[in-house]
């Protein structure tokens, strides 16, 4: 089986966008690929996190992965911080990337353009991300279109290392979803649905009251022509809702367009609200089962125990090649 790897930060509450774009696809991938999925809690340190909230968000994220249908028997699911080799390899690879390359990364550029106070972690985090990926030699890394540059940098660093020290890392390919890879804010469909949305009016949180989530769908911004047609450039609001409808219902966007031909936005939104509500109800019920007892701790321990030997072997190989160690192991 080809290997796939992905990580997601436990910052903020999990949204419908996270679920559709990052979590739900893995349920189908797990039967096609050897999956490594980690909770990127080291990356969450780039900005201050209230410790109590970080612990709860981490627990929620793990539970929601499983509630969505991920099978820990098929998928290696673990905490990034439980595999110490990530941080160590991140340092070595950070010494092989230039400041110019790091300064071109989207997250840093966005914060720098706003004249925000930026910690060094925001600047350096791509080096840790490179380590996260290259540690496990994945064939594919699923990302949104806006994060494709991270995989491109990772490939550049891997090629640089392989050229300098001999073949060591596999070059991963980015896997970009054609539909649902980037769910947009319901009130401002020109920006991505965000976990850090303070107002929360355009964001649906997976563990929120279901009636509140339905109301957000019904009040989502669309446009004035009333024609249900997929056109992200000119009709971003209804196009975003069509993507949500398609992913959750399993219908193609073309079939949905035909189904609502001649019907108004009100009827479409009402039906979509019911689809979203049913999906959330199933997830929340499973979440309650999963979060009792020591089940999550057991899953993470088993996942880390599977990931560590791979990480240790790769790190030892790197250290031999770069000369950081003088003993054979």
Q: Which of 286, 258, 327, 224 is nearest to 65 (CA)?
A: 286
Catalytic residue among 111, 201, 306, 321: 111
57 Cβ contact list (under 8 Å, min separation 6): 10, 11, 12, 13, 14
Catalytic residue among 59, 74, 148, 195: 195
Q: What Cα–Cα distance (Å) separates residue 149 from each residue in 61, 106, 163, 305, 317?
A: 25, 8, 21, 31, 27
Instruction: Let me know if 201 is a catalytic residue.
Output: no
Max intra-chain CA distance, the chain: 74
> Tokens 């098929």 identify what position?
74
CB distance 17 to 189 below 8 Å: no
Secondary structure of residue 173 in the 3-state scheme: strand
Compute the distance between CA of residue 234 and CA of residue 299 in angstroms, rounded to an integer: 45
Per-residue burial over 127-138, b if 16 or more Cβ lie within 10 Å, else e, is bbbbbbbbbbbb
Compute the distance between CA of residue 228 and CA of residue 21 in angstroms, rounded to an integer: 22
Catalytic residue among 192, 216, 269, 314: 192
Secondary structure of residue 179 in the 3-state scheme: coil
Instruction: Let me know if 191 is a catalytic residue.
Output: no
Instruction: Let me know if 195 is a catalytic residue.
Output: yes
- Alpha helical stretches, state H, 114-209: 120-134, 148-165
H or E element at residue 239: helix 236-249
Q: Which residues are catalytic?
A: 111, 192, 195
């Amino acid at each position: 089986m080809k290997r796939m790897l992905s990580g997601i930060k436990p910052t903020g509450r999990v949204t419908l966008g996270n679920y559709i774009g990052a979590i739900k696809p893995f349920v189908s991938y797990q039967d096609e690929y050897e999956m490594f999925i980690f909770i990127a809690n080291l990356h969450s340190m780039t900005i201050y996190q209230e410790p109590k909230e970080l612990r709860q968000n981490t627990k929620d994220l793990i539970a929601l992965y499983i509630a969505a249908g991920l099978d820990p028997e098929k998928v290696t699911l673990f905490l990034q911080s439980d595999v110490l080799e990530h941080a160590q390899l991140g340092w070595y690879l950070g010494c092989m990337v230039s400041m110019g390359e790091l300064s071109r990364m989207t997250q840093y550029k966005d914060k720098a353009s706003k004249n925000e106070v930026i910690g060094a972690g925001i600047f350096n985090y791509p080096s840790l991300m490179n380590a996260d990926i290259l540690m496990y030699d994945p064939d594919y890394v699923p990302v949104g279109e806006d994060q494709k540059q991270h995989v491109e940098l990772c490939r550049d660093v891997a090629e640089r290392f392989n050229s300098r020290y001999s073949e060591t890392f596999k070059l991963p390919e980015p896997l970009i979803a054609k539909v649902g890879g980037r769910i947009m804010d319901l009130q401002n469909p020109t920006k991505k649905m965000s976990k850090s949305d303070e107002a929360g009016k355009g964001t649906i949180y997976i563990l929120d009251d279901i009636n509140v989530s339905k109301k957000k769908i019904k009040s989502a911004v669309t446009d004035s022509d009333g024609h249900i047609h997929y056109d992200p450039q000119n009709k971003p609001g209804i196009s975003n809702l069509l993507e949500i409808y398609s992913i959750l219902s399993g219908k193609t966007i073309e079939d949905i367009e035909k189904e609502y031909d001649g019907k108004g936005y009100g009827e479409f939104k009402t039906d979509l609200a019911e689809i979203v509500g049913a999906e959330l109800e199933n997830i929340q019920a499973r979440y309650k089962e999963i979060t009792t007892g020591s089940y999550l701790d057991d899953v993470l321990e088993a996942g880390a125990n599977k990931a560590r030997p791979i990480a240790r072997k790769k790190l030892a190989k790197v250290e031999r090649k770069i000369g950081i160690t003088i003993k054979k192991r």
